[in-house]
Amino acid sequence: MKKRLVLLAFLLCGIQQAATAQTEIYKDTFKRSGPLFRSAPEQTLINATWGGWGAPDVFTTIGGGLSIKGKGMAWLLYDFAVAPADSLLSLKLTCIREDGAIGIGFAPGPDNNKAKPYLYLAADGKVIMSEGPGWSGTLLPQLRVSKGQTIALNLTLNTKTRQIEVIINEKSAGSFTYPDFKDIDRFYICGFTDQSNAVLRSVELTIQPLSSIAESKVAETDAPEIIWTPAPLESGTRVQPDSIFGMCGHFLHTDEFFTGKKLGRRFDASWRLENTLPWLVNGNYTWIREPLYQSLFTTASNGTLSENGQPPIVNRKRVEDYLATYYKHGVKVMLCLYLKQGWEDRLVEFSDWVGELGKRFPNIRAFELHNEPNLKTFWRGTAREYVNLARIMATRLKAKAPAIPVVVGSFAGWGGAWNHAGLRDKKSSREIGYGYAEETFKLGLLEFADAVSAHPYRGPSAPEGGGDPYDGSGQIESPTDPMGFEKEVRGFLDLVSRYAPGNKRLPFYCTEIGWAGTGNPAMINGRNLHSLERQADYLSRMFLLFYALRLEGEPVEAVMWYDLKQDHRADGNLYESNIGLVSKNSGYPRPGWIAGRRITEFFANPALMSPAGLAIAPDFGEQSKRVKSYTWKRLTDNALILPFWRLNQLQKNDADFDTILTLALPDVARISSIILHDLHEDRPRPVGFSRTEAAIMIPLHVTARAAWLEINIISRSQPPLSSHQHENNTHNDSTSS
């Protein structure tokens, strides 16, 4: 290891007996003075004493904690290979970083060069994850720590999956997975140079069985013995017709379609439309994206049955019934057509049926050609083969249903070339991020396209910044840039227009985006958010980012959250099984569904809103740089709509705050009332404000979830407030709740 200024804090400990509930293994707040070595933690279930080397550089002081100054090392031994199976170890640590850097990890023996993985909180404030010794690794730009900052660390280790999740100051730093725990035998702390300096205030380790965690997390637990009765929908219930917001559905992922020896027993009935439609319609989601797998609707090699062992006509009839139900409730449908390699000879049969659907059902508003062809999970052929097959399919669809837009791309990310060595060699990060998409554009993909689509997932990163690259490469914009996402959207559409016929800026569909959220620490991994509430935060912000892009003139046709319901995943994929907004059994909503419903209802039609064009931006005081806001005008009554939220990724401490919003406005006297729409509350409410001649001041509580103000204006046909009314109103407004 390079001899740099570094303080390593390696975390490992355990228990010699199985626990039946959450059990405290040890706790040490260092309320003693003197040498650390051979002293025991204040509370311990095991015969543990501190060991190490470097005394007197490692010592405790009453009220001061555990100090490590200069070269010194301390550890607690435990053979991790005998840790209780199917348990979750949770270690909480509070540390003050006085100088140098802090490293976090597990280690086989006292040699720090063999410790793995490291998490470095570097001297310059950067956070770096590394799978081995040295300073190389993955930079986590969304996390920073400063000198003298108190660091709250929560580290959990799942002994069943061998997955380690690290959370720093309530922000996910990522996760690691060990192939096994062989030779991992200690938690230790060390300083390497004379300048190393840190104070450990407290350490606490607990363990509990995964089964008890699952039982205690009612909101994350499906009870298989309960059959949820679908909420009835009246025949006249319809979604708003002009919204851009939608969901990804899976009406094929049921026991009706996945049958037979090859496909059977993979899904239950929870994705059937009678279970999911009430959530879609009552949430006012106008769009639904539904995949159609070619192999279910054409005959397989036996010539009579489809891949699920049923005649294609049976599967087709079920889909047609579902489309009719969507039409009844005003839902716009995008059909995502999964094209099966090796079945090109049956493309005519498939395309003819899909084209006829477009003619029969007016609510089919788009055909999307395939899904994520830049990932070899979905397309093992070349980019040229994808373009050629898409061209054939588009030609046949346009012959049958020429009015329905053909949408191409459906790229993972923005069409990154992560899986394609030939498209990423000697390329910049930005070129890799767009690499596969640009290759298909060069091959003529846009020659027959009416629109484009992409899936710009952010990983665990916040919505406003640059996205989380698929494999660490292909970063386009910085995750800490408050305009990063909007720059990515515009950059992608610029690329499209460069290759589109006539350099047209084609309509854009975001056909997948979402964040996985879970309140169950046993299910957290490096891409899941650490809470369901944070999933709701990010949904609210992403929806309004897309809405803003639409108001600013970008051709955003629809944004569809992936997906409506939590998925049943036979492969154990914890990320995809936690993105949904309704429980796996379709029985209850998660916080994201509730937050999303408020947005879809209020921001139903972007044609009724426009940018306000204020001369002076809203001023949130000292916190302005950490607040994202927009100012829009509602065209029906000239009310000013002002969305706002805090940018948690830019905060040293991820915490809500109070501030005064100062808003410079013309005609201040014409403001009649201000309504706050706070998505943490169940309904809008009026708020107080004060005025000067040129501005209004509004006290606000700012959270990581989007909120907005509805500032109502007296019409020009009414007189403005008199000076007497103005004075009374100022007094009343400033004291009202």
pLDDT tens digits for range 282-335: 999 999 999 999 999 998 776 789 989 999 999 999 999 999 999 999 999 999
Split at pLDDT 50, 70, 90, the class of 691 is: very high
For residue 565, what pLDDT is reported?
94
Which of 81-95, 138-152, 180-194 tops mean pLDDT? Answer: 81-95
For residue 164, the surrounding DSSP H or E stretch is strand 163-168
Q: Start-end ranges of CATH 2.60.120.200 in the chain?
A: 7-214
Encoded amino acid at 521, one letter: P
Q: What is the pLDDT of residues 359-380, one digit of tens each?
A: 999 999 999 999 999 998 899 9
pLDDT at 521: 59
Cβ neighbour number for residue 263 with a 10 Å cutoff:
18
Residue 468: its pLDDT value, please?
A: 75
Classify residue 602 by burial, with Cβ atoms within 10 Å: 0-12, 13-18, 19+. Answer: middle
Among 164-168, 250-254, 651-655, whose mean pLDDT is lowest? 164-168
Reply yes or no on whether the pLDDT at 11 is more than 60: no
Tell me what pLDDT residue 49 has.
80
**Mean pLDDT of all residues in 36-53:** 78
* CATH of 217-606 given 3.40.50.720, 3.40.225.10, 2.60.290.11, 3.20.20.80: 3.20.20.80
pLDDT of residue 206 exceeding 90, the answer is no
Q: At what angle do helices 484-499 and 532-551 cross, to 10 degrees?
A: 50
The predicted model gives 704-721 an average pLDDT of 80
Q: Which amino acid is at 491?
A: G
**Averaged over 176-199, what is the pLDDT?**
68
Find the radius of gyration of the CA atoms of the chain: 28
Helix 383-400 × helix 347-360 angle, to 10°: 40
Q: What is the pLDDT of residue 734?
A: 35
CATH number for the segment(s) 612-735:
2.60.40
Confidence band of 733 (pLDDT split at 50, 70, 90)? very low
Report residue 540: phi and psi, to 5°: -60, -40
Q: Which residues of 31-54 are buried (b: 16+ CB within 10 A; e: fewer)?
A: eeeeebbeeebeebbbebebbbeb
Q: Which residues contact 464 (CB under 8 A, 6 or more apart)?
A: 481, 482, 483, 484, 485, 486, 541, 545, 628, 647, 649
User: Please, which residues have CB within 8 angstroms of residue 503's CB and are 6 or more apart in sequence?
Assistant: 497
The pLDDT of residue 24: 79
Comparing 732 with 709, which gets the higher pLDDT? 709
Low-confidence winner among 145-154, 378-387, 576-585 (lowest mean pLDDT): 145-154
Residue intervals of the chain classified under CATH 3.20.20.80 are 217-606
| Residue predicted with more confidence, 736 or 627 | 627
Locus of tokens 């386009």: 476
What is the DSSP-derived secondary structure letter of residue 464?
T
Indicate the SS3 state at residue 108: coil
Residue 684: asked if its preceding bond is cis (omega within 30°), the reply is: no
Distance (Å, rounded) from C-alpha 70 to C-alpha 271? 60
Kindly tell me the burial class for residue 217, based on how many C-beta atoms sit within 10 Å of its own C-beta (0-12, 13-18, 19 or more): middle
Q: Which of 247, 328, 304, 334 is nearest to 543 (CA)?
A: 247
Class of domain 7-214 (CATH, top level)? mainly beta
Which residues make up the CATH 2.60.40 domain(s) of the chain? 612-735
Name residue 455's amino acid.
H
Confidence of residue 336 (pLDDT cuts 50, 70, 90): very high
pLDDT value at position 39? 81
| Digit-coded pLDDT (tens) for 99-134 | 766 667 666 776 655 655 456 666 666 666 654 444
Which pLDDT band holds residue 343 (cuts at 50, 70, 90)? confident
Looking at per-residue pLDDT, the higher value among 450 and 196 belongs to: 450
Percent of the chain past pLDDT 90, that is, above it, reads 53
Least confidently predicted of 181-190, 306-315, 508-517, 692-701: 181-190
How far, in Å, are 366, 421, 434 from residue 413 at the CA level?
20, 17, 9
Whether residue 224 is preceded by a cis peptide bond, meaning omega within 30 degrees of 0, is: no
Q: Is the dihedral of CA 381, 429, 466, 492 positive or negative?
A: negative
**Phi–psi pair at 214, nearest 5 degrees:** -60, -40
**CA distance readout (Å), 291 to 53, 297, 311, 446, 603:** 61, 12, 19, 22, 27
| Length of the chain as a residue count | 737
Mean pLDDT of 488-507: 98
Averaged pLDDT of the chain: 83
Lowest mean pLDDT among 139-153, 536-550, 596-610: 139-153
Rounded average pLDDT over 630-659: 96
